[in-house]
Amino acid sequence: MPPGDMYKNTQCVRCDYGFEPHEKIVNTNGELWHPQCFVCAQCFRSFPEGIFYEFEGRKYCEHDFQMLFAPCCGRCGEFIIGRVIKAMNANWHPKCFLCEMCDKELADQGFIRHQNKALCHDCNARAKAASLGKHVCHKCHSMIDDRPLRFRGEVYHPYHFNCSSCGIELNADAREVKSRPGFTANEMNELYCLRCHDKMGIPICGACRRPIEERVVTALGKHFHVEHFVCAKCEKPFLGNRHYEKKGLAYCETHYHQLFGNLCFVCNQVIGGDVFTALNKAWCVHHFACSVCDTKMSQKTKFYEFDLKPTCKKCFDKFPAELRKRLKKAYETSPRKSSAAN
């Protein structure tokens, strides 16, 4: 006798059969399911940790919901779950929709489109001034017709300041110097005319163009503050670690090899011998293996892409039919190339 005849008033939403006594029941929003029936509508797998997404009455696991419905962020490229900011002909995470000049979040304060860029109101004012070849003085907020004086990260009319040594009215050649240890960063910075500054013999940082009063890093034919000598790719300070130079720029070991060499996708080490390329990644030849059963594969082995990783045909054939169908379609429309080279 079918289980439904036993409990006619409590039936599974999917299969319409009832439940055996003491059988486990999944209850979500008043709907009852057999555990084996409570699965993703796309891949027919159970929901990891019971987490699912619902759209038009159908339930999906997070991966399939993202693949089918979630928009991609115009900045980080990741799927957006939750609040979506629609602007500049794209979708964004709220924390990814930033002013393209100062990186201030724009989701709640609004933005102005300037030359196809999203800018906050302050940066838009600066951009307009820059389009005229001008700067805006941080003190009097009027246009600077001549060269500006840069002080504490802002620009000013030079005549607003006097040399801390000789008292002369400053021009754009003035130098900012840390001269009073023990004070905050803004309190201990002082301005000197070029003549007084040159008497101090202080080197200038090649990155921030400010005087260096503490440790000096000399590289690329320039002097740097320790914290300003950074990798050109990840912008992390070397802090005494080895760096690699290429076309006048410095790189950490990882990014130097990523840009100009090969790192194995599995061991993340520099590939010294043969390089196996597949799925837009590089692998040590002996590390290229099925992501499911870990069987080693060669360039002649047929494989499929699953979750951005290679899967051998044997493991692929064990996947649910619907999933195999979708993966085969993706494989046929966008064939993956692989090769091995010295």
In-domain check, residue 311: yes
The answer to the question of residue 180 being in a domain is no
- Sorted by sequence, the CB contacts under 8 Å of residue 326 that are 6+ apart come out as none
The Cα 162–Cα 302 span in angstroms is 74
Examine residue 241 and state whether it is found in any structural domain, yes or no.
Answer: yes
Domain boundary among 231, 260, 289: 260
Both structure tokens of 231:
């990798």
* Helices H / strands E in the chain, number of each: 7, 23
- Residue 333 confidence (pLDDT): 63
- Per cent of the chain over pLDDT 90 is 8
Q: Is 228 helix (H, G, I), strand (E, B) or coil?
A: helix
Instruction: Decide: 311 and 305 in contact? Cβ < 8 Å.
Output: yes
| Residue 286 falls inside a structural domain | yes
Cα separation of the two ends of the chain: 67
**C-alpha 48 chain-centroid distance:** 26
CATH number for the domain spanning 223: value is: 2.10.110.10
Q: Which of these three, 236, 260, 284, is where a domain ends?
A: 260
What does pTM read for this prediction?
A: 0.30
Segment 299-325 mean pLDDT: 81
Strands (DSSP E) found in 70-165: 85-87, 90-92, 112-114, 117-119, 135-136, 143-144, 149-151, 154-156
Instruction: Look at residue 212 and tell me if it is in a domain.
Output: yes
Domain limits for position 255 = 203-260
Q: What is the mean pLDDT of the chain?
A: 80
Per-residue confidence at 159, pLDDT binned at 50, 70, 90? very high
Whether residue 282 contacts residue 265, with contact meaning beta carbons closer than 8 Å, is answered with: yes
* Residue at a domain's end among 260, 292, 325: 260
Percent of the chain surpassing pLDDT 70 = 89
DSSP-derived secondary structure letter, 197: H
Give me the pLDDT at residue 188, please.
59
pLDDT of residue 272: 65
If one compares 253 and 101, the residue with the highest pLDDT of the two is 101
Please report the pLDDT score of residue 9 as a whole number.
62
Distance CA 296, CA 310 (A): 11
Residue type, 130: A
Q: Three-class SS of residue 252?
A: coil
Bridge partners, 169 (sequence order) = 162
Residue 281 in any domain: the answer is yes
Question: What per-residue confidence (pLDDT) applies to 54?
Answer: 81
Structure tokens belonging to residue 165? 């040594």
The conformational region for residue 22 under phi > 0 = left, psi -120 to 50 = alpha, else beta, is left
Judged by DSSP in three states, 233 sits in coil
What's the pLDDT score for residue 6?
45
Predicted local confidence at residue 237, as pLDDT: 92
Question: In total, how many domains does the chain have?
Answer: 2
Do residues 55 and 70 make contact, with C-beta atoms less than 8 angstroms apart? Answer: no
Q: In this model, does residue 278 exceed pLDDT 70?
A: yes
- For residue 328, the domain's CATH number is 2.10.110
* 251, part of any domain: yes
